[in-house]
Structure 1
Amino acid sequence: MKILVVGAGAIGGYFGGRLLEKGEDVTFLVRDRRKKELESTGLNIESVNGDCRLTPPLITKNSKAQEYDVVLLSTKSYQLAGAIEDVRPFVGKETMVLPLLNGIAHVDQLVEAFGEQSVIGGLCFVEATLDEKGAIVQASPMNQLVYGERSGESIDRIKRLQKSFDGTKADFVLSGNIEQEMWHKYLFITTMSGITTLFEQPIGPIRQLESGQRTIAALLKELEEVMLKFGAPVEPGISEKLLDKLNSMGEGMKSSMQRDAEKSVPIEADHLQGYLLEKAHELEVAVPVLETVYTKLKLYEKTVNNSLHF
């Protein structure tokens, strides 16, 4: 299958690179600056799961239009509108659009842009970042990408995609219930990102405190209640399972939102916490911890936006 990866950052570069390493037909759609960088250095992955040095096929938004079988999107939510326009010339009627964004609101945007049939479900669990030389650094063993038809069906196109994804040095998992898994990931990442960014600490020191444990558990429960009340396909009691997961993570684990805040760059507060806070207000569900987290994030955004004006 012809696979187009939108961007060659930490997420797209990692999973796209692993597919290219395997020998799949992978092309990266990148900005001009990143294209020049990759043409000079190659796509370099430094990982506990194995290093690799690749020379990837590269195009830009101004390249000749051609259709791909799969488009893999791993942008930040605030970059999505631009990415949709950049990728339009490369999406045909049979193209599968596979988003790996955190959250859930982006699905509606993609369906509006490309149609209900084109958009499949996806999520990933990986701790990766770009270093100062543009290399992808992946320091923990977790490198899982989960995908599937949002209907849960196992049809020919998803079986063909599975053949392309199987056998890489990353964990590509076909799910028959991707909608629920996306909501569960949303609940997990909204809690993890909110808590670590609120307290400006990795998850370990926070959860060591009794008050930290109570705060994490309370936020999970608030988000679960909101999701259940507006009919999201989450498993009742999932907050308790996710608390166990958060307590089993490495002491030094940070969320990508926290790392972005440490770099004084934009964050996804409205896409993650803000979306659920708006739902809570509509449903009249009390969410005091979520309100506290969101207030912290918006104050951070205000400070960053003001600093960018000088």
Structure 2
Amino acid sequence: MKICILGAGALGCAIGAALSEAGHETWLLNRGAAHVEAINTRGLHVLDERGERHVKVKAATDAAEVGVADLVIVLVKSFHTAQAIAGASALIGPHTLVLSLQNGLGHEDILAQAVGRERVLAGKTYVGGVLLAPGSIRAGVASKQTYIGELDGQLTPRVQAIAEAFNGAGLATTVSDNILGTMWDKLLVNVATGALSGITMLSYGQLYSEPLLENTAKAAVAEAIAVAEKAGIRLSLTSPEAAWRLAAEGLPASFRTSMLQSLEKGSITEIDFINGSVVRWGQRHGIATPVNATLVACIKGIERAMADHQKKENP
């Protein structure tokens, strides 16, 4: 299978490395020239449960260099989805499928507008990744589950074939007939740790050793569960404690969430698609979400401070 990772940051590289090692023609598409050059020159440097190695995998900055793929896995930041898929038309052929494994809610609708709803698959992954340097990542793959599915819940041969490819690459993957519920399950995990880690700048080891933060995380998750239940979403995670535990499962104490990594790089975050989704769905269904609204406001405040600082540095 020819697979292209659209937005091959740390997580995309972790998934791409596994697929490439399993024998699939795998391309990592990333705008960062230094990252792509390092991968093409030395291979992708991977640190994970299996140790340290260099994985041979193709990388490019331009979709035209990749050409038509069988599967496009979308892992760009949520706010770049529309722009990224618009610039990736060279990847899309008559039979290309597009699978979003992004955090949060709402990407499938954006992708469907660009390539047609019939091509789009949804999914969530608990695989983790941290970018150490251009062409170098720390990955958490072992025992980390991935769920994929058709938007209408059907168990089709095409989604089963993708799951088989993923499982053959060591990516534990299940086909879901309730992908919206699955997406909300992952959202609960992101709600538990993303914003809090970004606001406090704490690694997982630090975050999970502070009871006050644990209580706040569980309060945010409790709001999200209440919203999902009111909306008729079928969840597998039904308690804040379960989401809090799952968020850290198999990850090292040094792990830093993608939201924290974004802020450390001076980038805006995916808060609107995560805690912001809880707030919007809460408003729609008449459920108050003050904890999530506060977390969104704090992250927005940090983003504003960064933007103001950058303006001063680069008038």
TM-score, length-scaled by structure 1:
0.87
Counterpart in the other structure of 1:181: 182
Q: Please tell me whether the aligned partners of residues 222 and 240 of structure 2 are also in contact (alpha carbons under 8 angstroms).
A: yes
Counterpart in the other structure of 2:310: 308
**d(CA) in 2 for partners of 1:103 and 1:278?**
12
**d(CA) in 1 for partners of 2:68 and 2:130?**
29
Distance 1:292 1:173, change over 3 A: same
**d(CA) in 2 for partners of 1:91 and 1:274?**
31
1:69 correspondence with 2:93: no
Q: Aligned to 1:254, what secondary structure does the other structure show?
A: coil
| Superposition pairs of residues 256-275 of structure 1, within 5 angstroms | 256-275=258-277
Q: Please tell me whether the aligned partners of residues 184 and 238 of structure 1 are also in contact (alpha carbons under 8 angstroms).
A: no
Q: Which amino acid aligns with 1:30?
A: N
Shift of 1:68: 1.9
User: Once the two structures are superposed, what CA deviation does each residue of 1:253-286 show, in whole Å capped at 9, x if it has no partner?
Assistant: 4322123223332211212122322332344422
| Superposition pairs of residues 1-310 of structure 1, within 5 angstroms | 1-31=1-31, 33=33, 34-61=35-62, 63=64, 66-138=67-139, 141-234=142-235, 237-246=238-247, 252-309=254-311, 310=314
Q: Which amino acid aligns with 1:102?
A: N
**d(CA) in 2 for partners of 1:203 and 1:296?**
19
Distance 1:45 1:149, change over 3 A: same
Shift of 1:177: 3.0
> Which sits farther off after the overlay, 167-176 or 80-89?
167-176
Distance 1:214 1:133, change over 3 A: closer
**d(CA) in 2 for partners of 1:175 and 1:285?**
27
Distance 1:197 1:36, change over 3 A: closer
Distance 1:27 1:270, change over 3 A: same
Distance 1:259 1:26, change over 3 A: closer
Shift of 1:65: 7.8
Q: Aligned to 1:63, what secondary structure does the other structure show?
A: helix
Shift of 1:242: 1.7
Distance 1:66 1:141, change over 3 A: closer
Shift of 1:143: 4.0
Q: Which runs of 5+ in 1 are unaligned?
A: none
**d(CA) in 2 for partners of 1:161 and 1:197?**
33
> Which sits farther off after the overlay, 47-56 or 90-99?
47-56
> Which sits farther off after the overlay, 212-221 or 141-150?
141-150
**d(CA) in 1 for partners of 2:216 and 2:31?**
41
Distance 1:24 1:137, change over 3 A: same
**d(CA) in 1 for partners of 2:188 and 2:108?**
16
Q: Which runs of 5+ in 2 are unaligned?
A: none
Distance 1:301 1:101, change over 3 A: same
Distance 1:30 1:297, change over 3 A: closer
Distance 1:291 1:159, change over 3 A: closer
Q: Which amino acid aligns with 1:36?
A: E
Shift of 1:113: 1.2
Q: Please tell me whether the aligned partners of residues 14 and 128 of structure 2 are also in contact (alpha carbons under 8 angstroms).
A: no
Q: Please tell me whether the aligned partners of residues 36 and 135 of structure 2 are also in contact (alpha carbons under 8 angstroms).
A: no
Q: Please tell me whether the aligned partners of residues 38 and 44 of structure 2 are also in contact (alpha carbons under 8 angstroms).
A: no
Residue-pair matches, total: 310
Cα-Cα RMSD: 2.7
Shift of 1:128: 1.3
**d(CA) in 1 for partners of 2:29 and 2:176?**
27
Distance 1:117 1:129, change over 3 A: same
> Which sits farther off after the overlay, 214-223 or 149-158?
149-158
**d(CA) in 2 for partners of 1:32 and 1:300?**
25
Shift of 1:193: 0.7
Q: Please tell me whether the aligned partners of residues 63 and 89 of structure 2 are also in contact (alpha carbons under 8 angstroms).
A: no
Distance 1:64 1:204, change over 3 A: closer
